[in-house]
Structure 1
Amino acid sequence: MVLSTYFKGLLLYCLNNIQGERSSYAVYHILKGKKSSQTIQDCRLFQLESLFNCYRSLKRGELDNRIEQLIESNEIEPVQIDKNHFVLTPYGRDSLERWETSQGLPPHLNGASYSQYEEIFWKRLSLGFQVLSNSAHECRQYIPITRDEQILFWVKKWLNHHTSSSSTINQFYQELYELLNQLDDLQASIFVHKLTGYKKIGKTIDQLSEILNIDSIYGHLSFVSTLHYLIGNIIKKKQKYPILFSFISDLAEGPSFTVSTSKTYLLLQKGYSIEEIALVRQLKQNTIEDHIVEIALLDKNFSISSFISPELEEKINRTALQLDTKKLKLLKDKHPEASYFQIRLVLARQGRVTSGS
């Protein structure tokens, strides 16, 4: 198997951020968007939120093969062979630097915030575009680009709320043009060429990668980056982009907890203790603690003072920063008075702050 130059750089980037403190499968779960407390925590702690859920088609066997190739090329080396932990070699760091200089990550990736919206947003917008494009040319004979009944119903309902098709078409075009015009030519080109319209069939990422002579994985991430850019802007400036915002206005905003964590959160808000929640939900106490760490990561207003004193939090935080580590055992050795749960809570807050959220 030939190692994609771009995917090699992507793996090196992720492994460099993790610094051997998690196994390579943590990278797999992040790229695949595994909705677990541990993966969400890893995203924040290792500043990999941008890549969460951005490469869903990745296969575990493919990752294993890529890792083996990086070992053989002397770009990574194992820290703990039995746990599949790796760090970059000096040669690997040189490779990463060249990758970041030549390509790197597309600039607007934000999987942790927007991956939950991107698919439905794209389906609605692309079908809406197809309908309006054909309508502008008074064409009624065409095959919708999706058979998804929910999307078809939603767009039909959406059209009923925009009675003047000509003004809707003009506004839609202006909003989309203004936002795409702020992107680099490659990202804008990929997005536009994927749209299906009047006598125009949208191209796939593989087709565009061949036409534009780019790596298909880079092409995919560039497209995802554009979706995240659009979503972020229309949410923040919904009054400026009312047509585009209408494609996403009904989708939830705010912290996106896993389903199980959401249930724990509700009980915490009612004053239940960890032990009581574990009993009520018939789950292990460790699982409830996982949920609380996830909540601490995603909800900046959530107080952890009932689980750890400010003094102990400050001590652990100071040690983690001084040693530049997120290794639980090392921090536990330095602070035996703290539980692993308390240490994870402190790291959760540290991850939230350093990630800029």
Structure 2
Amino acid sequence: MLFTELILAIMKAVDRQRTLTSPFHLIKGKKSGQTIQDIGYFNLYPYFGVLPKLDKKAYDQAVQRLFMEGYLLENEQVIELTPKALDAEVAPSPLNGWKYRGNEIIFFQRLSLIVQTLSNTSQGIKIFDPIVNKEEVQAWVKTYLKRIGFRDLTVVQTFKEQLLATLTNTKISEIHKMILMERLSGHELSGLTWQQIADSKELAILDAQLMFVEALHGWMAAIEHAKPSLLIGLMEGIIQQSSLTETAKRTEKLFERGFSLEQIASLRQLKTSTIEDHFVELAMNDPYFNFTPFVDPQLYEAIIAESRQRKTKRLRDIKEHLPQASYFQIRLALAIREEQG
């Protein structure tokens, strides 16, 4: 998937319902209430936080290319796609941003340092400059290497075999696999820079970086499935065990203890609107969430009916026809899973 294809995939889901900057916040992994709820509203889980260091200027340039290539219409309020864009196929992708939430980088840092260490020590080299300087990653790798008995050459060979086997079985292109492998360093061999990789593949740097993340997500899924004895350990703490953000989890615990929305805001010294964001997130992720303390069932039905009739999740459009509903109630109703309604 190229970077412009990623933007277009998100825009196709939110056409005429969000602004031109909304995909930017989603791709960077902004943990605002709006972005989190859009993930659920429009089923955008795969794309969340896949390029956390994305530069706004680079994003704007990509959007301008979409205008120039006839995918976007001028609209100062919202994203508006052309028939060409609406007819365009969204390429399948192994991206799973919400599941990993940036932890694929920790996985790769661990892998990079392990590969570098095994490559050097198997050649009798005990002193070298570590490719990863983060102390927590170095500490984790030292513990892991001791656990697997890394000085045993049969262990080194098994690690290499498991690495190659799982990567071979990962359903990604050969270019994806090459980008990933070319970022690794070993004995007397340095990983390539993003510029070198982009030039060699005739790609833009952002495209190469996105394909790298795709490769990692696909490979990690293959490792989870196969559970190879040595590689599965690298997944420790990588997968998000809860679909909730940490701050929403704290609100959930207080709510379960019987505190009201306003009391939680006071206890946590946060704005009421922030706690409302947390409840929207809870509704989005918990199929058993009880929404009745916040939204009367009849009002809930009215909000859902209005959304379906007008084929929109724009709060302003729904509010205009249901003035008795607050924006929070509309957001909450739209976040609730359909099986609850």
Q: Indicate conservation of the 8 Å contact 1:196/1:202, yes or no.
A: yes
Cα distance in 2, alignment partners of residues 352 and 169 from structure 1: 50
Cα distance in 2, alignment partners of residues 241 and 306 from structure 1: 48
Cα distance in 2, alignment partners of residues 185 and 69 from structure 1: 27
Match of 2:185 in 1: 196
Cα distance in 2, alignment partners of residues 13 and 152 from structure 1: 37
Q: 1:124 to 1:209 in 2, by over 3 A?
A: same
Cα distance in 2, alignment partners of residues 229 and 106 from structure 1: 12
1:256-301 CA distance string (max 9 Å, x none): 5444323212211211111211222233322211111112223445
Match of 2:57 in 1: 61
Q: 1:151 to 1:121 in 2, by over 3 A?
A: same
Q: What SS class does the counterpart of residue 23 from structure 2 fall into?
A: helix
Q: Indicate conservation of the 8 Å contact 1:106/1:225, yes or no.
A: no
Match of 2:206 in 1: 217
Q: What SS class does the counterpart of residue 24 from structure 1 fall into?
A: coil
Cα distance in 1, alignment partners of residues 211 and 277 from structure 2: 33
Question: Normalization by structure 2: what TM-score?
Answer: 0.86
Q: Indicate conservation of the 8 Å contact 1:180/1:188, yes or no.
A: yes
Between 256-265 and 129-138, report the one with greater CA deviation.
Answer: 256-265
Q: 1:8 to 1:338 in 2, by over 3 A?
A: same
Between 319-328 and 60-69, report the one with greater CA deviation.
Answer: 60-69
Matches within 5 A, 1:1-357: 6-68=2-64, 70-71=66-67, 75-79=71-75, 81=76, 83=77, 85-93=78-86, 97=88, 100=89, 105=91, 107-163=93-149, 165-182=152-169, 183=171, 184-235=173-224, 240-251=227-238, 253-350=240-337
Shift of 1:45: 1.9
Q: What SS class does the counterpart of residue 148 from structure 2 fall into?
A: coil
Shift of 1:6: 4.3
Between 298-307 and 23-32, report the one with greater CA deviation.
Answer: 298-307
Unmatched 5+ stretches in structure 1: none
Cα distance in 2, alignment partners of residues 298 and 129 from structure 1: 38
1:130-185 CA distance string (max 9 Å, x none): 11122333333432212222222221111111125334323322332222112321
Shift of 1:314: 4.2
Cα distance in 2, alignment partners of residues 315 and 254 from structure 1: 34
Cα distance in 2, alignment partners of residues 301 and 171 from structure 1: 45
Between 164-173 and 241-250, report the one with greater CA deviation.
Answer: 164-173
Q: Which amino acid aligns with 1:161?
A: R
Q: 1:252 to 1:212 in 2, by over 3 A?
A: closer
Between 158-167 and 297-306, report the one with greater CA deviation.
Answer: 297-306
1:62-106 CA distance string (max 9 Å, x none): 334444554466542244x2x5x2211235546xx2xx4xxx656
Q: 1:352 to 1:252 in 2, by over 3 A?
A: farther
Tell me the C-alpha RMSD between the 2 structures.
Answer: 2.9
Q: Which amino acid aligns with 2:148?
A: H
Q: Indicate conservation of the 8 Å contact 1:12/1:88, yes or no.
A: no
Unmatched 5+ stretches in structure 2: none
Question: Normalization by structure 1: what TM-score?
Answer: 0.83
Cα distance in 2, alignment partners of residues 351 and 172 from structure 1: 45
Cα distance in 1, alignment partners of residues 44 and 128 from structure 2: 42
Cα distance in 2, alignment partners of residues 174 and 308 from structure 1: 56
Q: Which amino acid aligns with 2:96?
A: N
Cα distance in 2, alignment partners of residues 115 and 194 from structure 1: 21
Q: 1:349 to 1:229 in 2, by over 3 A?
A: farther
Cα distance in 2, alignment partners of residues 59 and 198 from structure 1: 34
Q: What SS class does the counterpart of residue 198 from structure 1 fall into?
A: coil
Cα distance in 1, alignment partners of residues 224 and 336 from structure 2: 26
Q: Indicate conservation of the 8 Å contact 1:106/1:221, yes or no.
A: no
Q: Identity of counterpart residues, as a percentage?
A: 33
Q: What SS class does the counterpart of residue 219 from structure 2 fall into?
A: helix
Q: 1:221 to 1:251 in 2, by over 3 A?
A: closer
Q: 1:175 to 1:299 in 2, by over 3 A?
A: farther
Between 285-294 and 329-338, report the one with greater CA deviation.
Answer: 329-338
Q: Which amino acid aligns with 2:37?
A: Q
Q: 1:236 to 1:44 in 2, by over 3 A?
A: farther
